[in-house]
Amino acid sequence: MTDTFVSNPSFFKLDATLKKLRNYWQKKFDAEQKDITVDQWLLIENLYKHKKTTHNELARNTSKDITTISRIIELLVKKGLVKREADAQDRRKVYLQLTPAGVDKYKDVKSLVYDMRKIGWKTLTETDYAELTRILDTIYANIPS
Amino acid sequence: MTDTFVSNPSFFKLDATLKKLRNYWQKKFDAEQKDITVDQWLLIENLYKHKKTTHNELARNTSKDITTISRIIELLVKKGLVKREADAQDRRKVYLQLTPAGVDKYKDVKSLVYDMRKIGWKTLTETDYAELTRILDTIYANIPS
DNA sequence: AAACAATAGTTGCCATAGCAACAGTTGCTA
DNA sequence: TAGCAACTGTTGCTATGGCAACTATTGTTT
């Protein structure tokens, strides 16, 4: 692996791309008055798919710190999109699930997200997607935890 | 482009990979008592390469918000790694440059960063790097500003 | 059973991200 | 030259990210 290669700014490029994506999504959300942030959306999407999870599971599934989950969930509860439910057996556990309003929000925002994903990929192929996935997964696996 | 393709979580994967990278770097910085954050490092690296820049240029070069630059620079000034210098012609402008201590910090941290970059890429090839660059650049270009 | 370890989640703190509002300066134009 | 637009940077506010310390609960060990 050459010097030039290693010193090339892949970290920077990842960061820049992700920021531009997040920014674009957020502006669309704001323009269409969805009244959520991109990360709040990610949790809603995850809760829709898993129906009923705990903070810890959500943290693992979304690659977010559990403290961040705790705070985002707090905001979603205040917005009436998520409800907490105590576990009867283990009183430390709190189950999280979307309220009916949360399910509505998911359905409302879903198609917008779908469209935005298409825009990011518009000039790329399925092979490109597979390549990106492979490379990012490899980098992820290469980094010690 | 298929449904499955579009609904696949590339945003999530980018985010997860970047977080793991940033985390790994930060832990190494902390373990070796470099006393800087990853983003502070990115500004130091940029200032080393450009010698003398303004907040605006630095924001463009690093893909960071100018308010974020303003605050990170404030921290670096407090640490004695960066100094501000007013422009004689245009009194709105402030030039930024590394102090001698800032240059030392750059030289001190550089090899550590070099090693970490190698670790992320250890099982990948130059072709992989070129592919990643191409795909990320394409996504970046596809997103409206 | 008492002591201790492990687990689930919250809160405090500081750093980064981005928007809006602001102050000061400079350039343009009527 | 007065007024306004554009530019440079800062500050306030809210959200996310991550570490450390904390509470409460449950499981384990002696």
Q: What is the DSSP string of A30-92?
A: HHTT----HHHHHHHHHHHHHSSB-HHHHHHHHT--HHHHHHHHHHHHHTTSEEEEE-SS-TT
- Span B10-31, pLDDT tens digits: 889 999 999 999 999 999 999 9
CB-based contact A138 B119, cutoff 8 Å: no
CB B87 within 8 A of CB B95: yes
Q: Is A104 helix (H, G, I), strand (E, B) or coil?
A: helix
- Distance CA B74 to C1' C22 in A: 19
Mean pLDDT to the nearest integer, A53-69: 95
Question: Quick check: A44 CB within 7 A of strand D?
Answer: no
**Identity of the residue in B18, B121, B132 whose CB atom sits nearest the CB atom of A6:** B121
Which nucleotide has its C1' atom closest to residue A42's CA? D16
Measured between alpha carbons, how far is A129 from A135 in angstroms, rounded to an integer? 10
B93 touches strand D (CB under 7 A): yes
Please say if the pLDDT value at position B3 is more than 90.
Answer: no
In the prediction, which pLDDT does A8 show? 55
Q: Work out the pLDDT band at A10, boundaries 50, 70, 90.
A: confident
Q: Domains plus CATH for chain B?
A: 32-113 (1.10.10.10)
Tell if A10 CB is < 7 Å from nucleic strand C.
no
Q: How far is the CA of A84 from the C1' of D22 (A)?
A: 22
Give residue B92's pLDDT: 93
- Contact (CB<8Å) B126/A5: yes
A22-31, A95-104, B5-14: least confidently modelled range: B5-14
Mean predicted confidence (pLDDT) in A74-86: 96
| pLDDT (mean) for A65-87 | 96
Q: How far is the CA of A45 from the C1' of D17 (A)?
A: 20
- The residues pairing with B96 across neighbouring beta strands, listed in sequence order, are B53, B84
Answer whether B1 sits within 8 Å of A121, measured CB to CB. Answer: yes
Cβ <8 Å between B120 and A144: no
Report, in ranges, which bases of strand C sit under 7 Å from a protein C-beta: 7-13, 15-20, 24-27
Mean pLDDT to the nearest integer, A87-95: 93
Helix axes of A38-50 and A66-78: crossing angle, nearest 10 degrees: 90
How many CB atoms lie under 10 A from the CB of residue B45?
18
Q: Taking residues B124-136, what's their average pLDDT? A: 92
Instruction: Report the pLDDT value the prediction gives residue B123, as an integer from 0 to 100.
Output: 87
Nucleotides of D under 7 A from a protein CB: 7-12, 15-20, 24-27
β-bridge pairing B94-98 and B82-86:
antiparallel
Residue A102's pLDDT is what? 97
Sign of CA dihedral A49, A51, A57, A63: positive
Mutation target among A27, A29, A63 for the B interface, most CBs of B within 10 A: A63
Write the pLDDT tens digit of every residue in B38-92: 999 999 999 999 989 999 999 999 999 999 999 999 999 999 999 999 988 899 9
Among the listed residues A42, A19, A107, the one whose alpha carbon sits nearest the alpha carbon of residue B12: A42
The average confidence (pLDDT) of chain A is: 91
Q: What percent of chain A has pLDDT over 70?
A: 94
Asked if residue A43 has pLDDT above 70, the reply is yes
Q: Tell me the torsion sign for CA atoms A59, A60, A63, A67.
A: positive
The answer to whether the CB atoms of B17 and A140 lie below 8 A apart is yes
